[in-house]
Every structure is written in C-alpha cells, then in structure tokens.
Amino acid sequence: MITLGKLASIVGGKVIGAPDQDILGVSDIKNGAPNTITFLFNPQQQELINQTSASAIIVPDASLLQDKNGIVVDNPRLAMAKVLKIFEPQNNIEKGVHTTAIIHKSVKIGNNVNIGAFVVVGKNTKIDDGVTIHNNVSIGNDMIIGSNVEIFPQVAIYPRTNIGNNVAIDMGTVIGSSGYGYETENNIHHKIPQIGSVIIENDVEMGANCTIDRGTIGKTIIGQGTKLDNLVHVAHNVKIGKGCLLMGQVGIAGSAEIGDYCIFAGHSAVRDGVKIGNRAVFAAKSGVTKSLPGGKIYAGMPAREIRDKNKRDAAYSQIISLKKRLQKLEEKLAK
C-alpha cells in the first residue's frame, strides 16, 4: 500500500488534498475506481474529473482538480510512467535455473540469475548478474549478456551477439539472424554468407517480433537507450545511434547509419547505405531514399522536409482543382 503523498514524492509533484489517502492501484479516468489514482493529460477534458470515481488524479494544473485529491506535475505522461511502474504486476518466474534448461558446461552464470523452462544456452556464453530468461528462449554460442537483462519467451539469439546492461527483449524477437544478401549470376541468386555480429548497447528495449540481422562481416549496432516497437526490422551492418525511437513496422535496410535521438513513426522505411543525422524525425510511412541531415522533420515518399512536402501537396490539390474547372469549362463550351 502506498499513500498519495509518497506517490507525489516519487513523481516530483505537489499534493492537493489529503496526502495520507491510500492508493491501491491505477485506473482509467473514464472507469475510475475508489482508492486508485488516475491521470488527465488534456485540460479540455476537465469534465472527466467530475465523473471519475478515482480517489486521486494526476494533472498539469491545480485548478483542474476543484475539490478532489490529486498531484500536480509538469508532465502527467511522465508521471504516469513512474506510477505504472510501481503497480506493474511482477513476472511469475521461478527463482534459479529450471531443471529442464539445457546449459552448456562452459557457460558462466552470475548471481541472482533466473532461467526458465526449456531454455537452451550455447557454449562459451557469459550471463551477468540479475538476468531473467523466460521459458523457451534459445541463446547461441560465444555471447555476452549484461546485467539486469530480461528476455521474454520464445526469443532466439544467434551466436556472436553481445547484449549490454538493462536490456529488455520481448516475446518472439530474433537477434543475429542472417542478413538478406544475394549476388545474381546467370539468373541464379547466390547467397552471401553473413558472418558478422550484433551489439546491443545498454538500456535498449525491443518489442515483440522484431528482427535484428547480424553484420555481413562487421557489426550491426543498436545504440544505448534506443527503443524498438513491435515488428521492427533492422538489417545487416546497420548502425543506430543513442536514444532513437522506432515504431511499429519500421524497416532499416542494410548498412544504413542512423544518428542519435532520431524518431521513426510507423511504417517508415530507410534504404540501404544512407546516413541520417542526429534528431531527425520521420512521419508515418516516410520513405528515406537518400542521406538526410538531422534536426529536421521529414514526411512522404521520398522523404522531404515536411514543410516542403506540405507545399507540394497543396500545389497538387490546386492543380487537381484547376483541372476539374477546366474540364467543366470545356464541357460548357462544347455545348
């Protein structure tokens, strides 16, 4: 059990109302339950505060609360993330190494490591302290897994993959699979062997069913603090910088280099070999066909600065409108 005052200290906010109010959980503001805390992000939806049965609300402005308990913060979404972390259900994995796990005798395992049922770990792999590996995970040879890593069920990690500290890999993700490379001769496609490796740096998170290909000869690198949504594909020899956000169904083709703190909205794609500068932002369904500088927002296929794209779209709409007017004029004159 935790009080409203304690939560306020955790999220760095100011308590309005009763700091000793017990908070037993979190609820949605539209379906608020007593003894829970909820959130309001948009002040224009203030009427929801009057309707909710939640015992406290996190808001950006004290005036929104009226006579209700709450916490005032600058960023309610960030506060929500911290509160949800407190009430997040714990994973029910047995402590220690499950009897059905198959672990090569050369594997080095640190302290407080939990390994679930039917996990396979190859030879010469090192697992640091505080790692949790859930059921049915396959881990190859010659790997290093850093401390406090969590690997969820049915993940497959190929040999020659190094994983940093505080990494989370969700269900069904594959790391180190063979990259897509062929050379064609006389209409026969010859597979180019992919013998490189993968490096996942500290604090990276990967959603479910992502695929990270190993390098052809060198390395595929996912930079520190980068977060991948579900269904993201990163091809061979790609280098992704620090703190990037890649959303659902983003695809990065081989040997592309992505700068630090870039954002790719859903269905964005990057062609092979291009370089993207730091803090570039790509709208949904953007298609990057050439190298682009950082610090700008891009959209469209091919991706252009969003202001340029909007101008082009407006001009196109005007041309279509003009064409229709000319057609009507021609029909009128023909009569």
CB distance 101 to 125 below 8 Å: no
- Residue 133 inside a domain? The answer is no
Are residue 162 and residue 285 in the same domain, yes or no?
yes
Q: Which domain holds residue 83?
A: 2-87
- Residue 184 inside a domain? The answer is yes
Are residue 263 and residue 179 in the same domain, yes or no?
yes
The number of domains in the chain is 2
Are residue 160 and residue 79 in the same domain, yes or no?
no
- Bond preceding residue 19 cis, omega within 30 of 0: no
- Residue 9 inside a domain? The answer is yes
pLDDT in tens, the chain (335 residues): 799 999 999 999 999 999 999 999 999 999 999 999 999 998 888 899 989 999 999 999 999 998 899 999 999 999 999 999 999 887 777 799 999 999 999 999 999 999 999 999 999 999 999 999 999 999 999 999 999 999 999 999 999 999 999 999 999 999 999 999 999 999 999 999 999 999 999 999 999 999 999 999 999 999 999 999 999 999 999 999 999 999 999 999 999 999 999 999 999 999 999 999 999 999 999 999 999 999 999 999 999 997 877 777 676 677 777 777 778 777 777 76
CATH number at residue 35: 3.40.1390.10
Are residue 290 and residue 193 in the same domain, yes or no?
yes
Neighbours of 261 (CB within 10 A): 19
Neighbours of 158 (CB within 10 A): 22
The reply to whether 98 belongs to the active site is no
Mention every residue, 6+ apart, whose C-beta is less than 8 A from residue 248. 207, 229, 230, 231, 232, 266, 267
Are residue 170 and residue 47 in the same domain, yes or no?
no
Of 189, 233, 236, 267, the catalytic one is 236
Are residue 169 and residue 286 in the same domain, yes or no?
yes
Are residue 83 and residue 180 in the same domain, yes or no?
no
Phi/psi region, residue 50 (left: phi>0; alpha: psi -120 to 50; beta: rest), is alpha
CATH number at residue 226: 2.160.10.10
